[in-house]
Amino acid sequence: MTMPHESRHRNNAKVITAVCLVLALLCASCADLRPRPSDTPPKLSPQGAATENEKAALIKWLSEYAAREQARSGVPASITIAQAILETGWLNTETPIRRKMVLEAKNLFGIKGVGPAGSVEIPTTEYEGGRPYTITAKFRAYHSYSESFEDHSRLLTTSAYYSDALKFRNDPRKYIREVAKNYATDPDYAEEVWSIVERYNLTRFDKSKPGD
């Protein structure tokens, strides 16, 4: 025979379990509940962010998306910001090629292929045996910069090419070294990204750092 106090204990346990499940679901979706950053980047000169004030404004805009994506995927915000800066030349739109990539395709990360909005063909420098050569390649196009950020995170967390990098997501420097092995043919790519991280102290945007 079940005593009344035992029944109450069981009911309380069920209530606690239900509350814990609800809280877990809320925490899992907290990144999606944040206000979406503006899809309009700060106003810059055609040469991109040239002054320190322009660079600070661009980094702030990029960091809002990068932090959101890190909360969802674990990709270090510092690396996302630095890659966007390197790939777009600080959001440079001065030349036809830059305008096509940044303004028409809204591609912030130089990702090749066909995207949600199709693709654009752009000349690009590749490396073989450390020697550069130029080809024309298709680059993914997006309907918004938000799509570009989301696709970047998706690529780095779902492609088998970057599976080895996932274990270093709390160590941005090791992470970009692993990513760069398949992300770019430029042998200096990882160090170029990391130099931007260091110069502008971008690890301050990361939720976790080496040793945490």
Q: Would you name the residues annotated as active-site residues?
A: 126, 151
At position 178, the amino acid (one-letter code) is E
| 138/73 Cα distance (integer angstroms) | 26
The pair phi, psi for residue 136, each rounded to 5°, is -105, 125
| 109/150 Cα distance (integer angstroms) | 11
Consecutive H or E run containing 6: helix 4-28
Q: Is 3 exposed, middle or buried (0-12, 13-18, 19+ CB in 10 A)?
A: exposed
Q: How is residue 124 annotated by DSSP?
A: E
Tokens representing 131 are: 């020697």
In the chain, what is the straight-line distance between the N-terminal and C-terminal CA atoms, in Å? Answer: 52
